[in-house]
Chains A and B, each alone.
Chain A
Amino acid sequence: MSEHVRIRMYNVGFGDCFLLEFPRANETPFRVLVDCGAHTSGYPRPGWKPAEAVAQIIEDITEPGQDPALDVIVASHAHQDHVSGFGAPAWDDVTVGEVWLPWTENPKDEEAKVIRDRQNKLAMGLELAFQQPAFNQRWLPAKEGQAQMNALRALAANSRKNETAMNTLHHGFRGKPKRRFLSSVNSRKIVPRGCPDLTVHVLGPSRDPEVIRDMDPPAGQSYLRYRTSVNAVVDSVLNRPFTRSFTLSPADYEASYEARVSDEIKEAAASMMRDDDLTVAVSLDKAVNGTSLMLMFEFGEAFLLFPGDAQWGTWNAALSDSDARELMARTTFYKVGHHGSHNSTPIDFVEEVLPEADKLWGAATSVHEIDFWPEIPRLPLLKELKKRSDRLVRSDKPGRGGEGVEVRRGIGVDFAVPC
Chain B
Amino acid sequence: MEQKQAVYGRESLEGYVPGIQPPATRPLKIFAFDPSLRRSAGNLAVVNVVNEQVGPGPDGRLVQVIDYNATEDVYYPPVDLDEPDVLIQRGLDPSDSDPRFHQQMVYAVVMKVIENFERALGRPFAFRRQQKLVVLPHSFEGENAFYDPVTMSLHFGYFTADLEDPGPNLPGQTVFTCLSHDIVAHETTHAIVDRLRDQFNWPTNRDVLAFHEAIADIVAIFQHFSFPEVLHDQIRATRADLSKPGRLLELARQFGYATGSGQALRSATGLDQAAPDPRQYAEVLEPHDRGSILVAAVFDAFFRIYRNRTAGLVRAVTGGSGILPEGELQADLVTLATREASNAAQDVLTMCLRAFEYLPPVDVTFGDYLRAIVTADFELNPRDEFERRVSFIDAFRARGIYAPAVSSLAEEALRLDRPRELEDVRIPPELVTEALASQFKIYDDYDQPEREAVVQLRLHEFAMANAAALQLDPDLSKNLHLAGFHPSFHTDENGQLRIELVAQWMQTPPEGDPRRVEIGGVVLRAGTTAVFDSDGKVRYIAARPLPGPHLTYETQKAVAEQRVEEFKRYVGALDERDALQPWSSEGYDATRMRRRAKLSAAHLARPSWRRSNV
Contact = CB atoms under 8 A, between A and B. Distances in A.
A26 B561 CA distance: 64
A216 B607 CA distance: 11
Nearest to A373: B583
A259 B78 contact: yes
A270 interface: yes
B155 A272 contact: yes
A347 B74 CA distance: 48
A283 to B, nearest CB: 7
- Say what secondary structure dominates the interface of chain A: helix
Contacts of A216: 609-610
A261 B153 CA distance: 10
Contact of B260 (A219, A285, A343): A219
A235 to B, nearest CB: 11
B159 A221 contact: yes
Contacts of B59: 259
Contacts of B97: 242-243
B162 A224 contact: yes
Nearest to B171: A228
Given A249-B74, A285-B579, A224 B99 contact: no
Given A222-B142, A268-B150, A269-B70, A374 B586 contact: yes
A250 B70 CA distance: 11
A265 B176 CA distance: 20
A221 B586 contact: no
A228 B172 CA distance: 10
Nearest to A281: B583
B332 to A, nearest CB: 45
Interface stretch (B131-139, B239-247, B338-346, B412-420): B131-139
Contacts of B162: 219, 221, 224
Given A246-B99, A266-B68, A374-B586, A219 B579 contact: no
A171 interface: no
B123 to A, nearest CB: 28
Contacts of B575: 342, 347
Centre residue among A212, A239, A275, A378 by max chain B CB count within 10 A = A275
Contact of B140 (A111, A269, A374): A269
Contacts of B259: 219, 221
A222 B139 CA distance: 14
Contact of B577 (A222, A256, A312): A312
Given A225-B160, A269-B136, A242 B76 contact: yes
B582 A247 contact: no
A35 B98 CA distance: 54
B58 to A, nearest CB: 10
B141 interface: yes
A257 B76 contact: no
A249 B259 CA distance: 30
B160 A238 contact: yes
Interface string B33-60: 0000000000000000000000011010
A155 B580 CA distance: 11
B21 interface: no
Interface in B118-148: 134, 136, 138-144, 146, 148
Contact of B76 (A248, A341, A348): A248
B580 A282 contact: yes
Nearest to A247: B74
Contact of A273 (B66, B142, B260, B610): B142
Contacts of B144: 272, 276
A400 interface: no
Interface in B140-192: 140-144, 146, 148, 150-151, 153, 155, 157-163, 172, 174, 176
A114 B163 contact: no
A397 B584 CA distance: 23
B582 A261 contact: no
Contact of A347 (B98, B576, B609): B576
A155 B583 contact: yes
A375 interface: yes
Nearest to A270: B70
B408 interface: no
Given A247-B74, A341-B582, A264 B150 contact: yes
A372 to B, nearest CB: 8
Contact of B261 (A219, A249, A338, A378): A219
Interface residues of A, number: 70
A248 B74 contact: yes
Contacts, number: 191
A355 interface: no
A124 interface: no
B25 interface: no
Contacts of A247: 72, 74, 76
Interface in B563-601: 572, 575-586, 588, 598-599
B602 A111 contact: no
Interface string A333-349: 00000100111001110
A311 B56 CA distance: 51
Interface string A48-70: 00000000000000000000000
Interface string A240-256: 11110011111011001
Nearest to A218: B606
Given A219-B606, A259-B78, A373-B583, A134 B71 contact: yes
Nearest to B602: A272
A260 B609 CA distance: 41
B64 interface: yes
A383 B520 CA distance: 21
B98 A246 contact: yes
B73 A250 contact: yes
A262 interface: yes
A279 interface: yes
B579 A114 contact: no
Contacts of A341: 581-582
A118 B172 CA distance: 17
B608 interface: yes
A261 B599 contact: no
A289 B130 CA distance: 48
Interface string B259-275: 11100000000000000
A376 interface: yes
B226 interface: no
Given A219-B260, A269-B139, A282-B579, A241 B174 contact: yes
Contacts of A261: 66, 68, 134, 136
Contact of B613 (A111, A253, A260, A278): A111
B260 A221 contact: yes
A268 B153 contact: yes
B462 interface: no
Nearest to B68: A261
Nearest to A269: B70
B32 interface: no
A343 B579 contact: yes
A151 interface: yes
A209 interface: yes
B77 interface: yes
A259 B572 contact: no
B12 interface: no
A341 B97 CA distance: 48
Nearest to B174: A241
A376 B585 CA distance: 10
B138 A241 contact: yes
30 contacts: A219-B260, A221-B161, A228-B163, A239-B72, A241-B176, A242-B98, A242-B99, A250-B74, A250-B75, A257-B56, A259-B56, A259-B57, A259-B59, A260-B66, A265-B151, A266-B68, A268-B155, A272-B139, A272-B155, A272-B602, A273-B70, A273-B142, A278-B583, A281-B583, A282-B580, A285-B583, A341-B581, A374-B586, A375-B584, A375-B585
A-B complex: 3 closest residue pairs judged by Cβ atoms? A253-B75, A269-B70, A341-B582
Given A228-B163, A374-B585, 10 more contacts: A212-B613, A216-B610, A221-B159, A242-B98, A250-B75, A252-B75, A268-B155, A275-B599, A347-B576, A378-B582
